[in-house]
C-alpha cells in the first residue's frame, strides 16, 4: 500500500510553504491571526495524514488516512481562496496563487490515490 515518495515530499514542502505564509499573515492582528491558524492547521494535516498512511494497519486504514488528507487539502484551498479574495494581503497574492495551484495538484493526486486504492480493494 505504499505510494511514491513524491507525494510525501510534496506535502511536506507544501506545509513548509504554508507555514512561512502564515508567519507573515499572523503578523496582522485579528483577521490575520484567525485565518493563519485555520490555514496552518488544515495544510499541515495533509502531510501528517499522508505520513501516517504509510504505516497504516490495514488497507482500510490507509484509505481512511488518505481520505482525511483529501478533505484537509480541500479545506486548505478554501482558506487560501478566502485569503486571496479578502484582498487584505495584496503583497502575498502571488504566493497565495502559487499555493492554490499546488493545493489543487495535491488534491488531484491524493484523490487519485484514494480512488485507485478503493478500486484495487474491490478486485
Query: What pLDDT is attached to residue 121?
Result: 80
Query: What pLDDT is attached to residue 92?
Result: 96
Query: What pLDDT is attached to residue 1?
Result: 61
Query: What pLDDT is attached to residue 76?
Result: 98
DSSP structural state of residue 55: T
* Domain positions in the chain: 5-122
Q: In whole angstroms, what is the distance from residue 85 CA to residue 104 CA?
A: 17
DSSP structural state of residue 58: S
Q: What CATH number was assigned to the domain covering residues 5-122?
A: 1.20.1440.60
Query: What pLDDT is attached to residue 70?
Result: 98
The model's pTM: 0.92
Residues with pLDDT less than 50, the chain? none
Query: What pLDDT is attached to residue 30?
Result: 85
Host H or E run for residue 122: helix 93-122
Provide the mean pLDDT of the chain: 94
86: nearest Cα among 35, 37, 44: 35
Amino acid at each position: 500500500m505504499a505510494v511514491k515518495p513524491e507525494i510525501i515530499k510534496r506535502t511536506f514542502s507544501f506545509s513548509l510553504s504554508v507555514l512561512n505564509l502564515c508567519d507573515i499573515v499572523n503578523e496582522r492582528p485579528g483577521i490575520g491571526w484567525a485565518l493563519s491558524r485555520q490555514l496552518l492547521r488544515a495544510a499541515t494535516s495533509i502531510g501528517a495524514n499522508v505520513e501516517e498512511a504509510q504505516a497504516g494497519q490495514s488497507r482500510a486504514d490507509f484509505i481512511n488516512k488518505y481520505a482525511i488528507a483529501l478533505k484537509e487539502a480541500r479545506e486548505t484551498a478554501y482558506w487560501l481562496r478566502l485569503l486571496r479574495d479578502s484582498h487584505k494581503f495584496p503583497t502575498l497574492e502571488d504566493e497565495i496563487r502559487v499555493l492554490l495551484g499546488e493545493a489543487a495538484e495535491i488534491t488531484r493526486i491524493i484523490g487519485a490515490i484514494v480512488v485507485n486504492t478503493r478500486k484495487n480493494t474491490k478486485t
